[in-house]
């Protein structure tokens, strides 16, 4: 302050003028922004981020353009689908400035222009689709709108990055019909699931009964096989026992002691037979010697000897 106060008045004003000129000459452009500079009203250059210089009074900054991605709300509007259903649609448009020169001199207001273009393009694309497709193929609809806008906005130096439909509102009557259709679809699905459950349950019951019958038949068959095998084994065992007994008796009958035992057994059976005949019949005729046990034994012995001699011959 002391230095300024010590300066002569003329030098002071000269210093002030120099500072004003320097301030008007130096430009500090922020990051992701661009200044469009005109000289004598004509386009001179585009100043990007960093330090830049212009000529005071001759040059001026005609436009300040942001190079960042911008989001613009597209107001709701009415559109008619291919099947003549009126819809209320709104969305959000995302874009950025690629060429500040075209964005400044190619269109008066590029934000307004791209918003209007988005609305008209959206109405055009919706007119190509039926109502059901607008809900099912929203991603494809957004892609088609972006492609159409980019094709039309190239002279403006604008690049549309994406378009998102926020809401699609059909008329109340259509919403009621859609709700009724969805309800009927849910009822149908429930009935199908219920019938599928009943069918599967019936199949499971039938398979269970079939397996039960098969298992019972197999058990009965196994039981019969085991019983038959047991009876066969028993018959074989009895036959083997009888054969062994007969073999033992035959071996014993060859000896002298065996002959005596056979004779004694025959005599005993003869006596028992006569007693049985005497018991059942009222009149029995017997020879004189038939009542003598010794005679009976002798007769039996004679018969046995005779049989043995015949067997040897």
Instruction: Count the Cβ atoms, other than its own, within 10 Å of residue 81.
Output: 19
- Give the contacts of 65 (CB within 8 A, at least 6 positions apart): 33, 34, 35, 36, 97, 100, 103, 104
Asked whether 168 and 89 are in contact (CB, 8 A), the reply is yes
pTM: 0.52
pLDDT of residue 272: 67
pLDDT in tens, 32-65: 899 999 988 899 988 988 888 888 888 888 888 9
pLDDT of residue 284: 46
- The C-alpha R_g of the chain, in whole angstroms, comes to 63
Question: What's the rounded Cα separation, in Å, for the pair 208 and 275?
Answer: 69
pLDDT of residue 262: 63
pLDDT in tens, 112-126: 999 999 999 888 888
Asked whether 126 and 145 are in contact (CB, 8 A), the reply is no
Helix or strand or coil: residue 147?
A: helix
Using pLDDT thresholds of 50, 70 and 90, give the confidence band for residue 95.
Answer: very high
Of 137, 135, 142, whose CA–CA distance to 178 is shortest? 135
Using pLDDT thresholds of 50, 70 and 90, give the confidence band for residue 79.
Answer: confident
- Give the contacts of 126 (CB within 8 A, at least 6 positions apart): 79, 80, 81, 87, 89, 134, 141
Which tokens sit at 258?
A: 């065996």
Question: Does 214 have pLDDT greater than 70?
Answer: yes
Of 96, 110, 83, 88, whose CA–CA distance to 33 is shortest? 96
Sheet holding 70-80, edge to edge: 70-80, 86-97, 158-169
Question: Does 277 have pLDDT greater than 70?
Answer: no
Using pLDDT thresholds of 50, 70 and 90, give the confidence band for residue 274.
Answer: low
Which tokens sit at 18?
A: 């120099």
Question: Does 295 have pLDDT greater than 70?
Answer: no
Of 175, 87, 179, 100, whose CA–CA distance to 138 is shortest? 87
pLDDT of residue 299: 60
Question: What's the rounded Cα separation, in Å, for the pair 34 and 229?
Answer: 107
pLDDT of residue 285: 46
Of 137, 157, 135, 159, whose CA–CA distance to 146 is shortest? 159
Give me the torsion for CA of 106, 111, 112, 113, rounded to 10°. Answer: 40
């Amino acid at each position: 302050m002391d230095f300024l106060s010590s300066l002569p008045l003329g030098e002071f004003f000269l210093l002030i003028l120099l500072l004003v000129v320097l301030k008007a000459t130096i430009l500090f452009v922020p990051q992701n922004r661009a200044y469009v500079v005109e000289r004598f009203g004509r386009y001179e250059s585009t100043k990007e981020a960093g330090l830049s210089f212009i000529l005071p009074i001759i040059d001026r900054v005609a436009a300040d353009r942001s190079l960042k991605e911008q989001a613009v709300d597209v107001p709701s509007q009415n559109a008619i689908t291919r099947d003549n259903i009126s819809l209320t649609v709104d969305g959000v448009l995302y874009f950025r400035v690629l060429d500040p020169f075209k964005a400044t001199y190619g269109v008066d207001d590029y934000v307004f222009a791209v918003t209007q273009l988005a609305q008209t393009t959206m109405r055009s694309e919706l007119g190509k689709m039926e109502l059901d497709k607008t809900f099912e193929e929203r991603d494809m609809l957004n892609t088609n709108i972006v492609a159409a806008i980019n094709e039309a906005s190239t002279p403006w130096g604008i690049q549309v990055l994406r378009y998102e439909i926020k809401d699609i509102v059909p008329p109340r009557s259509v919403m009621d019909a859609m709700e009724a259709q969805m309800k009927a679809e849910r009822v149908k699905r429930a009935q199908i699931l219920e019938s599928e459950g009943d069918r599967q349950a019936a199949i499971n019951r039938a398979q269970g009964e079939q397996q039960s019958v098969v298992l019972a038949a197999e058990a009965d068959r196994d039981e019969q096989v085991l019983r038959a095998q047991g009876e066969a084994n028993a018959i074989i065992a009895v036959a083997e026992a009888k054969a062994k007994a007969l073999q033992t008796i035959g071996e014993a009958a060859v000896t002298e002691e065996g002959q005596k035992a056979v004779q004694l057994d025959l005599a005993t059976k003869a006596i028992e037979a006569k007693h049985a005949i005497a018991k059942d019949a009222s009149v029995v005729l017997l020879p004189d010697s038939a009542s003598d046990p010794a005679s009976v034994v002798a007769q039996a012995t004679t018969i046995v000897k005779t049989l043995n001699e015949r067997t040897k011959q």
